[in-house]
Structure 1
Amino acid sequence: MSWEVIVAIGVSFRDRMRRVALGLGTIGCALAGATAPSSAQEVPRYDPEGWCKRVAESGGGSSEWLKDACLEQEQAAYDKLKPQWGTVPKKTRSWCNQVATSGGRGSYVLLEQCIDMEFASKQKNDNSKFKF
């Protein structure tokens, strides 16, 4: 695992734990290989157990608390994505799936965050014009 990924995990995890404490939590990391969904209307199948195990072991030890918190956040993100997946534009689904699986197995939290950021940026860009 590269130091950039470890740093991203640490920064994202610290932010996530703050949100968990507030009941809002999300973790923004992805490490490992997803399989393609059987239809465009299905959320991609990732390996949250494998991903969260790697997150929990990323500091050189192993933390059951980190693994549990990670799994809770992955489940919450998946549960949010599942009913809305069919309404997400194909281009956004494809791009965000690439982002969420860039490190390997994939993260539903990263997928959710990517989609949220794409929607927010589209709204902003629709109202933005370059000024000379």
Structure 2
Amino acid sequence: MSRDLVEAARAARLKAHAPYSKFLVGAAMRDEKGRIFGGCNIENASYPQGWCAEPSAISALIMGGGTKVTEVAVIGAGEGLVTPCGGCRQKIREFAAPDVKIHICGEDGTIRRTFTLEELLPVSFGPDHLK
């Protein structure tokens, strides 16, 4: 388990802009060079124009020169597991292989469960289909 990845997601969560829902989410992604990029959810008064934490982290990774997601951590509050939504799962799929691990964490940084992308998005459509 990657404490550095989880801590980056935890730090990103604290920067979330969630004035409407008050539901802060942080994500962090490791690229193919081992670098970590964080992202947070950013709400907008004009729903659904906000961003989830996961695409925010993907954007940072791409802007940082990364091309692949090799590991993910997502942190949210509450008793339930805060997993990436369906759209975010597909966005992760664009840059990650089906066996990439996605750590779902509580707000204290404890990893509650780890899934592979394939478990969260089975029989997915991805870039390999267009080659």
TM-score (norm 1): 0.27
- Point out the structure with the larger strand share: 2
- Point out the structure with the larger helix share: 1
Which fold has the larger relative contact order, with Cα–Cα distance below 8 Å and residues 6 or more apart in sequence? 1
TM-score (norm 2): 0.27
Tell which structure's C-alpha radius of gyration is larger. Answer: 1
